Structure 1
Amino acid sequence: MKPYYEDDSVQLYLGDMREVLPALGLQADLVVADPPYAETSLEWDRWPDGWPALAAAHSRSMWCFGSMRMFLDRAPEFTDWKLSQDVVWEKRNGSGAATDRFRRVHEHALHWYRGQWGDLHHDTPRVAATPEQIARNSSATRTSRPVHYSEFPEPNTWRETGTRLMRSVVQVPSMRGVARHPTEKPVGILDPLIRYACPPGGLVVDPFAGSGSTLDAARLAGRRAIGIEANEPYAEAAARRLDTLVLPLDGGAA
């Protein structure tokens, strides 16, 4: 099968993931999926029946974006997977036209896995500590737990590293106004998910590639990536995006 786009790190295929993924016959370190939620009447917003089981045949680890309604409605299709955790993407800009509910400014990303948890790659996500956090823990006595006690379960065992566990609510502005795709995810929310669940140099598969955000984020993070997109205009937009010069995130701005 010939890729629609290809470079040293990325391949993009045009077609239905239910046909393309089995034909590729691959095993990925991680699937990152942003499927149609099937919550609108838009033509493209159609749930591809059976895709979670198909993804399970090609990876043991998966991040899947979605709404709570989507995951509850489609729960029977995720029986091949075990849920490990959820991350909330706070995107600042609201979505939806309902005026009788709280303004929705978030989406969920759920991490699913198969097999034994200890056999999977999961790199503890850490961020730089603030001066206030460091000061609070520095003032703690050696016989007490620090403020951020969940990282140091036993007294007298913790050491200040200048970092903290990344929070499960991640604030990243949406792509509103600059998006190439109606549901495009910013690289800023994809990057920590990829780094967490895929080892450096590993393979990420996005079965709903859209405008190529996951492929872009994976490449910037030093991972290989394969994407599948059923809509040719979006595949073309992704190809143009991926064909631009990039610099690794670890080495500076891109």
Structure 2
Amino acid sequence: MTMLSQTVLTGDCCVLMPARGPFDMIFADPPYGDTSLAWDRRVDGWLPLARAAVQPSGSMWVFGSLRCFMATATAFDDAGWKYAQEIVWEKQNGSGFHADRFKRVHELVVQFYRSDAPWGAVYNVVQTTPDATARTVRRKKRPPHTGHIDAGHYVSEDGGPRLMRSVIYARNAHGRAIHPTEKPSGLIEILIRTSCPPGGLVGDWFAGSGAAGEACRFSGRRYLGCEIDPVMARKAGDRIASTLPFHQGERP
């Protein structure tokens, strides 16, 4: 199997990443700015640079909290990004900051694409799971809250594919993480398979632990990450280098 390039740069993503595009997909896990921790400060200025560095057919997946996205909504619009969809990452436990509210065990992952490109031109592979039950669904009357939907029906078979749900459970990396906000590479791999063609280039603007690089290695995509912390950049590079790629047919 041909080894695809997997590289982690050390430095400021706003300086190092723009000239290394165009990327088929951008993955971003920036600081949310929700806590008083010294490193948890929102990064300004990267959104228009990322927009200029992505292919017209590309898109960007961004991890964040609802508070973070609400605070930065206009920044996405001003930078030329258009909202596509979001998923909810459900984890087995979470870190609650308040004892008088629901225990927070989820994070959002939102997809954006270039505002000058139609959604139909964006690379998108619908993800499915093999757990459908046999049934035929016919649409007889338009639900009043959905607007116009063309008439039609679909048939599913036992064990056949069905659309992957937007709430996806994946254990977090607490106890084994090499970065305090590390995301599960299996979840990231789903996003990569959805939005980056095989052999395409994923730009990871806040590389952290290198989990996205590991996911690219598993899924047969090229990877270029950037991490401002030199110690973490070295750990991320070592992690990716030690990950054995799957040969075609070994992993769905």
TM-score where L is the length of structure 1 = 0.85
1:76 shift after superposition: 1.6
1:45 aligns with 2:40: yes
Aligned-residue sequence identity (percent) comes to 43
Distance in 2 (alpha carbons) for counterparts of 1:191 and 1:250: 15
1:107 shift after superposition: 0.3
1:128 aligns with 2:123: no
Instruction: Kindly provide the amino acid, as one letter, of the partner of residue 72 in structure 1.
Output: M
- 1:171-190 paired onto structure 2 within 5 Å: 171-190=169-188
- 1:1-254 paired onto structure 2 within 5 Å: 8-24=4-20, 26-59=21-54, 60-79=58-77, 80-114=80-114, 115-130=117-132, 133-134=133-134, 137=135, 140=136, 145=138, 154-155=152-153, 158=155, 160=157, 162-248=160-246, 251-252=249-250
1:127 shift after superposition: 0.9
Runs of 4+ in 1 over 2 A off after TM superposition: 157-161, 249-253
Count of matched residue pairs: 231
Q: Deviations over 1:11-57 (max 9, x none)?
A: 11000001111343x10110010000011122211211011111101
Distance in 2 (alpha carbons) for counterparts of 1:124 and 1:23: 30
Q: 1:110 to 1:153 in 2, by over 3 A?
A: farther
Gapped regions of structure 1 (runs ≥ 5)? 1-6, 147-151
1:225 shift after superposition: 0.9
1:212 shift after superposition: 0.3
Instruction: Kindly provide the amino acid, as one letter, of the partner of residue 9 in structure 1.
Output: S
1:175 shift after superposition: 0.4
* Secondary structure class of the residue paired with 1:184: coil
Distance in 2 (alpha carbons) for counterparts of 1:57 and 1:112: 13
1:231 shift after superposition: 0.4
Alpha carbons 2:217, 2:243 under 8 Å: kept:
no
Instruction: Kindly provide the amino acid, as one letter, of the partner of residue 180 in structure 1.
Output: I
Q: 1:220 to 1:153 in 2, by over 3 A?
A: farther
* Secondary structure class of the residue paired with 2:37: coil
Q: Deviations over 1:81-134 (max 9, x none)?
A: 11011100001211133111110000000000111111110001111115xx23
1:8 shift after superposition: 3.6
Q: 1:153 to 1:242 in 2, by over 3 A?
A: farther
Distance in 1 (alpha carbons) for counterparts of 2:126 and 2:173: 27
1:170 shift after superposition: 0.1
* Secondary structure class of the residue paired with 2:91: strand
Q: 1:23 to 1:173 in 2, by over 3 A?
A: same
Distance in 2 (alpha carbons) for counterparts of 1:71 and 1:185: 18
Alpha carbons 2:128, 2:164 under 8 Å: kept:
yes
Distance in 2 (alpha carbons) for counterparts of 1:120 and 1:29: 10
Q: 1:43 to 1:200 in 2, by over 3 A?
A: same
Instruction: Kindly provide the amino acid, as one letter, of the partner of residue 145 in structure 1.
Output: R
CA RMSD across the alignment = 2.0
2:143 counterpart residue number = none
1:214 shift after superposition: 0.5
Distance in 1 (alpha carbons) for counterparts of 2:214 and 2:27: 12
Q: Deviations over 1:151-207 (max 9, x none)?
A: x9624x636381100000000000011100000001121011110011111111000
Distance in 2 (alpha carbons) for counterparts of 1:17 and 1:118: 29
1:251 shift after superposition: 4.3
2:144 counterpart residue number = none
